[in-house]
Chains A and B, each alone.
Chain A
Amino acid sequence: MTEPLLSVKGLTTRFRTERGTVNAVDDVSFDVAPGQTVAVVGESGSGKSVTALSILRLIPNPPGQITGGQILFEGQDLLQLPDAQMRAIRGDRIAMIFQEPMSSLNPSLTIGLQIAEPIHQHRGTPWQQALDMARGLLEKVHIPDAAKRLHTYPHHYSGGMRQRAMIAMALACQPRLIIADEPTTALDVTVQAQILDLLKDLTRETGASLILITHDLGVVARYADRVVVMYGGRVVEQGPARTIYQRPSHPYTRGLLASVPRLDGPAGERLVPIEGSPPDLAALPPGCAFAPRCRQVSDACLATRPKLRAIGTDHLNACLRDDL
């Protein structure tokens, strides 16, 4: 395997809450190879968004704090960088696309200005030239009438167009890594397909890597090369997308795949739900976080916290039971 572009090692992010300190991300490790699309999958409270924010060091402190681990990006540990150097990387080498395009765009600045800003900031390109480049970027994300649209405000844009503008902004400095946190959750399905196809095409074209954070298993199947499944702030399984879908190994991954109705599955049959609810991070059991909902739970699962271990080529699983 080639040298990974990003290597997250033992990342732990804590939050102080009224109910005590919780590990929103707990000893999380995964690699992203150049040009690869890695999906981080999980439900609410699984720590997938906090992982994304931690990579960019955007965790609000207080209440949050990255307490351990390394984030090696192009060989450099991002957690050791001074703030100024980190700022120089954000939006330049690593870009982020957020879920809510409306709340992450500034309503009082024109779209053009917002796309040109990182170019001006990071590259020192004069504003006029940066605006020209912004127009090119808008064309690249298929916004009709880009020259005119450059000077309009976010509220003139529809949901899908705003997300396109966000993608244009993310691409502005030709990042090596794009982190997209639920980029299409707020959009209609036909627009979702357009946006994700666009993102995939553009990353392919520029050779950038993509971390796609989502809860949608269909989206993962369509776009991801590699899948990291998170539960209760921990990685429970990871591997190549095909392996995860064909031979899911962790009971949570299996449960998740079985509980979702599929367009090509049998209709009208009872689904197999995962009983119980997603875990409360402030009251995690001492052993496996999934143990209280697991059908195959054993005594050991309640007492011992399982470690991620290799169970196949490039396939890691954190389940104590190897007989499953």
Chain B
Amino acid sequence: MTEQKTDPAYLTSDQVHAGQYEVHPDQKRHSLVARLKAGDRAAAAELVDGYYQQIYLFMRRFGHDRQTAEDLTQESFFNAWHHIGQLRDGKALDSWLYRIAANVSRLYWRRHKHKEVVGIEIIDVSAGTEDGYDRVGRYEQLDELAAAVGRLPVRLRETIVLHYMQQLTIASAAEALGVKEGTFKSRLNRALKALRKDVT
């Protein structure tokens, strides 16, 4: 028991926050995964705290409306509890969770083929930093780009959302979609080309 308590793999967030141990983020993830795999409910709650906003935004950026994004976020976590056996290590935590979320989202689009993509409103953060003309022009350009992303086919759209918006690395994003890195890069390329054509 003593050994288990001192093992960083079994650190709780309270211990980490209390400053008892200086833990690297990767190590913290390893600890979280180890505890999840051991069936620790507190670890599951930590996972929710750490990721639910990201998953919600992923759903929104993917074109789901608010209510659907909330439902799909809940469903993603619900599925995650049933897929804990597939978790490998801390490094794969992000891609594992995004893979589940991407599958949930894809399944939703498949069932609701004709549902409209709902864009998330773009925040105009540059107010006051640029002159009016530049600011409006830039805002319009971003708005146009966001709309063009929404028009992409699901498979291309998910590459853009995962890599550019959720900031996943190529390797993680490819793993999240269950494809090889080469395939992911090729899809990303196609998506960029399509956006280039679509946005003037």
Do A and B pair up? The answer is no
Which residue numbers of B lie inside 8 Å of A, CB to CB? Answer: none
Which residue numbers of A lie inside 8 Å of B, CB to CB? Answer: none
